[in-house]
Amino acid sequence: MWTSTNFKTYEKQFDFTSSEQGKPTYTALKINDTDFINIIEGLDGEIEEDQIFQTILCSSCGIYHCEPGNWVALRQSDDFVFFIPAFEELHGEQNQTEYAPPYWLKQKGSFWLTKTDFEKFKKLIPELDKLKSINRITKSELLALYKSETPHKMFGDFPDFKPLRKNHVLAVSELDNETAFGIMDSKLKELETSAEFEIVPLTETDNVISIFLDDSSTTEWKALCKTENSYELLLGGTFKIIAK
């Protein structure tokens, strides 16, 4: 997962001559150096009750839903807003292509903002600014997000998740492998059966439990944390998931 307040809009020209629309200029929004939304005007009327939308529109015509992919779901939990994969739509082989997440999400994970920063962010996107509230992340979405945010696809691919790929684990900080696996399995089951949950940031007193992997690109997975009273699942190395 990642966050940044380095977001701004700019004018971007497109070549739509192949669809006989000339070379129009629209408003794009980028975060750091990445186009997050390429045609803000193209979202007009498209973000409805499900708050699932396409961030990058067809570069040949600018028509919503013309090209597959680049879909996100806008979700909230307590003081944070998340842009996550559109998990509810990603069922079935065709939908896995049609509703695939954007490239930046595949590379860096889901994007998040504090509610305060989101208030500034949405002022740049009229269609988001119309929303009176943000849908709360569901338990099934949170479970899928935790498993999807793991490096090296430690649970396989959504929606066909597999048991934890234990053979890719070299060592665990502070715990032996089997103890860490047992805690993780227990906490996932606890979340699955919970009535409520919270997503809260780490504190200075929390101790991150890292799992070290036999992967050339990513060797460390911050999977758990030890709090004063318990162990908790660690989402994206940043947030504790507390089931109730």
pLDDT at position 217 over 90: no
The residues facing 199 across adjacent strands are: 241
pLDDT on residue 229: 87
Please report the pLDDT score of residue 27 as a whole number: 97
Strand partners, 35: 30
135: left (phi over 0), alpha (psi -120 to 50) or beta: beta
- Mean model confidence pLDDT for the chain: 94
- pLDDT tens digits along 62-116: 999 999 999 999 999 989 999 999 999 998 777 889 999 999 999 999 999 999 9
- The SS3 assignment for 196 reads coil
pLDDT tens digits for range 109-154: 999 999 999 999 999 999 999 999 999 999 999 999 999 999 889 9
**For 65-129, where are the E strands, in sequence order?**
71-77, 80-84, 111-114
pTM above 0.85, yes or no: yes
